Structure 1
Amino acid sequence: MRVPCLMAASAAASIILACGSAALAAPLKVDEIVHSSKRSARETAAEKAAMHFYEFWNTGDEASLKMAISPNFVDRTLPPGRPQGPGGPAFASKAFRAAVPDLSVEVRKMVFSGDYVTVHMVFRGHFTGEFAKVKGSGQTIEFIATDLLKVTNSRVSDNWHIEDNLTLLKQMGIVSG
């Protein structure tokens, strides 16, 4: 069953209002949410956790992360240098926002199946900070990513993710091509 974007946007707006400092950021944009034909209580809980998780990625607001993530969170595709566990996403967000302070995420599609959520998104911003010893000059950053989340006890407990890092590094001028 597809949920219209307005429902997703109003859910995101509710999350923003509940998060305080995130109210200054642009609302999380979600283009499409897909549930099984018979939406379960597990999928409803998974949707709430996922919306908080991506509100965190959209704003950097750690209150949203705390509402989303399990104390037993495991990053199943942990990049080198990122701490494992619930502190990992906060660490990654802070590091990336140092390079791209206006970072935002647009969720293109969320697909729910029981405890699992597949999410396709686009990250955007401007490279005005520093990353890998390269100083940005305000160039536009736009790259895609896909996550597979597992939600356990209404919290994100596992994440498998892949980002289009080649596009990102080319846009930052770190690699040529």
Structure 2
Amino acid sequence: MFKKVLLLVSLSVMALFHVASAASISPEIYADNQGVSAAQVKLAAMNYANFWNTGEAKFARLALAKNFVDKTPPKGRKAGIEGVLAASKAFRQAVPDLHVSVEHLLITGKYATVRYRFKGHFSGTLGEQQGHNQVIDFPAVDIYQVENGKIIANWHLEDYQTFFSQVK
């Protein structure tokens, strides 16, 4: 299972970076941390993880820069911190007992890659669909770019196929 997740993360990371042409791949290489310490990156990542785990806006505001950009927003999501707060609130309406854990944290320079596990029960509402206490358990992977101790950019992949199969 770990090898599959690692392969998924690797493929996801590769897909996020610019490809110069179909004939050649020339990814950007980030060799130094540009003044950001691993402790700053970890603190920002864990503050954001605490936000997703608790839904408390104070953790999002501690983690995210004022000019934060979600690089992979779902269709219709507001930009910036307000979009993240709204997304958490909406998801917690569907899964009120949501618990989010960090299964893996990898820090590379000014970037953090986080493998999450989202768990709870679909006992609320999702759009017009009422939950019937179905078990929710799905993974997600986020990549954060941190500057001055705050996340300025985020790329994320959630296993929505598993989630939507669980809320049927």
TM-score by length of 2: 0.77
Q: Distance in 1 between matches of 2:160 and 2:127?
A: 13
1:111 to 84, 99, 106: 106
Deviation at 1:159, TM superposition (A): 0.4
Q: Which amino acid in structure 2 is aligned with residue 49 of structure 1? A: A
Whether contact under 8 Å (2:41, 2:111) holds in the other structure is yes
Match of 2:128 among 124, 133, 139: 133
Q: 1:66 aligns with which of 58, 61, 77?
A: 61
Q: Percent identity?
A: 42
Give 1:82's match in structure 2, choosing from 58, 73, 77.
77
Look up the match of 1:155.
150
TM-score relative to the length of structure 1 = 0.74
Bigger Rg over Cα: 2
Name the Cα RMSD after superposition.
Answer: 1.1
Q: 1:41 offset after TM fit, Å?
A: 5.4
> Which residue of structure 1 lines up, in the alignment, with residue 163 of structure 2?
168
Question: Quick check: 126-135 or 155-164, which moved more?
Answer: 126-135
Alignment of 1:86-97 (within 5 A): 86-97=81-92
Moved over 4 A (4+): none
Alpha-carbon distance in structure 2 between the residues aligned to 1:87 and 1:42? 27
CA distance, structure 2, for counterparts of residue 53 and residue 111 of structure 1: 15
- In the aligned structure 2, how far is the partner of 1:148 from the partner of 1:53? 11
* Equivalent AA in structure 2 for residue 79 of structure 1: P
Unaligned regions of 5+ residues in structure 1, if any? 1-39
SS in 1 for 2:37: helix
* 1:15-26 correspondence to structure 2 within 5 Å: none
Unaligned runs of 5+ in 2: 1-34
